[in-house]
Structure 1
């Protein structure tokens, strides 16, 4: 006995909630009426209550009843209809001045740029008087209609069909009406010749009948009461999420005859059959309960039970409510079991698809090739290279959040991430790999797996089971050398000591790659953006995507030209043969960047010096080295060391690669130049001296452009490397 009571109580609560929803067409918490006018959304009072500023309205409570105004055009609103998508406004009526010449006049407020158009269905252009011919314009020159009314003082016709009054049909989609007119019987004694204005047809017929006692020739203005007319505006709201159970369609009782007419159509949105409310609000369209006791929509015959459904109703014979409840509960349980089974099945299938995709990506991203390369390379550090899962790296980078990006390069994008064990890493997400680029990616993994040097970025592992391959490096926190040279921070500037230290560390790393690695490695893309600085501002060489290993007895590589303009060895560019001296040339450009603070390529320099290398060599030839140095270097007064490093850079930039020093020689010479501040340096070993290198700047340098003229006829530095660490510095 309790079940029918419970069902009745729930039904009553649902009806009460539905009635409350139906009663409010405004946005929740917003004012619903102003005087006698209902304010449905998208219109509203206050920034939180309207869809956009075009639908903002203002309620003037200084009158009784209060009046509502459309804020964007400052005209009074008579009423707003959601069903028809229209708003009725009050517009002033202006008289026509008599003129024998053609005159132009606009009617109504300009609505350009707003979602409102002048309704062609509800309005007409009304011409009152009989001395004017009026032409309606769709633009500056196109006439779309016109009319002329004849004079008849004794006429009692109030149909506005051409006697003292005529009408012009309005085209669809206009936001502003312009018309030209001319008085047919112009009298110098008359300044008033009638009216031409837009008015709602229904309103005009009613008010025109009320004022039909006015004289037909309209030689005097209308009564003061007839100074305003009702006009109907159509509106539409786009780019808004509509309510469920709502639809939209283009207005118009007749199909458009041209593309322009079609473009002029506006959309009207409404609740579907069986629903009512506001389609522009979330859940604004509510089901109509045709079976409620106060509904007039219940068509079921007497004695037949009316059952309300969502959007419709059914007429059913009376059945046992208990039996119906059991059916509902059984169907619910059965549906729940089916949903649970479907969910489990979907999850299993999805996991299988993901596993298959990971295998496919692993093969496509060169996993088999990588395994082959690593297995065929006898290097102790290879087993330390870890294969990360896609889930690990997605969590580490917050699913590759844009805020985690720390750099972009030719081979991919680098994200900052944190592994589950707390280590901060850099995750390089390569570009989509095709057959041409696959070799670069695998090459970078193999090369970095063989390198164990403190001035080379360490590879921690990789992931091949994603759509694009991923590399995981140690994270280098202080950015690139390029950033510190060309975009310096006033709080931290590179000192001369740091510049020399960075040059020594990069030279040492390249010397290791060329001479000390188990298989010589050519980097092929040395530049300041590929040199990173760690937390102690020590240099780390990175980006080995274009690097190559070479046999010990091999002197060069013949490949398609790769690299960065401004750093590219001219000899390699012409011959496509890359040698270890090509890396030397690129390093020479980096040293010149450290000396001058200028970019490798710049359109600001003179035509002869767009290339920094060319500009530097030209300045050295003209003995103008100190004119192009970074001002911060000049302040430190390290001229002997500067000259020595400049001479070394010039040798590295020699156009003939055979005349350039090797990176091993460059590294040894930089070690010697570092000691110039203490005088001429001789490095001796107490046991066995393996190898000695002599730096001799035989060409005299004349720095006549600086105030204290300096001249170095000969500077010689001798550096010898031994087979142990017992060394003595003798000044």
Structure 2
């Protein structure tokens, strides 16, 4: 007896695995062939549940463009080993396919029955659905049966059906399939294989053919067919139309499929567990044998074999929503809730009242907080001399100088709320941040550390008035300030090339700066300090002159910065009495530390230390240096001059560039700046003029002095 192996569409007796690339492909898109969806765990070529160690892939569907004979199909057809797939039902674990029709026809030429065409099915991995299919026999006086092995080789289960035409062919009616109407159906039993036979064909039949079979009923048929898809037609009895109706003698049939191989839900292997959705349900196979199926729980729909495949059903939008009239439906995970409209209105009303009450209280609190914040900002603005500064700015309108009073919000936006990644440096007078204003200008924003009484805060505002008028090419430009905060903030132009301390002490691997550049920097810094001492009105004492506060732009032009310790010098004695000595160790004027009186000569002393840094490339204070007398650069220098050891202290690089007389001249100027008595020190104007004279003199060859140009 001929047997045709049904295509292996589902792995039922093997452990599934979900390969990475295949699973990714399945999850990305829904495959199709000829208008038929091919959902995971099925797939075309890739994207299906594979069977490890097997050459056959039961979940692999072939999209065929040709028939078995090689003729082109009208459209692509999903095929598995020659069988056409009509529909794959993932939630129910069903596959609808086209099955063969067994037939036995009368041969009019020989006047006897021809050879029957019988169909049998046997598969270890696929099961015919007993719920959806029926054994169906069509014809007059046609008796056929199917048998299936149910255990041992001799253990058979039989089911048969006898179709008669007791009242003649003309009495048959379309749509009816009964024992007396040319068609009969019988339920089938779950099994792994079956064979279809006609009575009169095998050894158990009655020989001599089938009584009544002839021109009025040329053939009899037997098939396992989907009970919902088959509809009886009288022409199936009177003609051979049934052989042509399905094309190639085929009719719809429903198959059950499972996953899991020999596993069950109770003994599942989590490494190969096929139910991938987190909320999926597992059910053991019902149609005989091991294996299991996956499904989404009630209230969910989708593909339980994919991660996250089970999606909540919106019952409120479904056609069969069950909420009563005059109620409101709210969808919930896996279900829905119904609210009576009256109760809902009461709840909504209560919620609105609570919301309005809360909103009113929040608004009142926000308004009160806003007023308190505004009052605090006005108080800070007044304490820092903001009103004085504002009046001064009004009086100087039209003079071509701009000074801006920034808000705290503007500076927060410029620095990303004073992000630590924007910090340029921290010092005793505050922290400096880099920021960008809304107009695109890069700025340095200094958050000052100002403390003191009301008079000191007022002096700060007055100081801002003076600094806003500073206009010198070698002093960093002050764009404005923010006074509405507890401690004021200053906004300066941003200088991109670092400072003098970094240039001469670190350098980043670059060669030391030449003597000409060092002299240029010293001269420009001296001119900036001379401007503050002599040309600003009233004079300004910087108070913290040091190499880190001498900034350098992209052309190495000096920009003196950091006026956090600056004071306005009184007009009578050009000095300022302080209660707290400010400055940097190594640069502080000894006389200032003893008398607490800050003068313009205090800046001269600090500048002298900067000159020594330029001459020696040594730091102003080296705590790790030995012996102890060499820790202070100023003290070491004065001792070296006194003992005639200056040559060992000067940077070797500049000894090769200029003659000893030039170096000695600069050293003499530095020594004058470092006099213990401020009265014996030169003014910054004298220092600037002396440096300008030295710059114009270049010692070459055998020490002949010539005058050079006055360019920068």
TM-score (norm 1): 0.46
Larger radius of gyration: 2
Tell me which of the two structures has the higher relative contact order, counting C-alpha pairs closer than 8 angstroms and 6 or more residues apart: 2
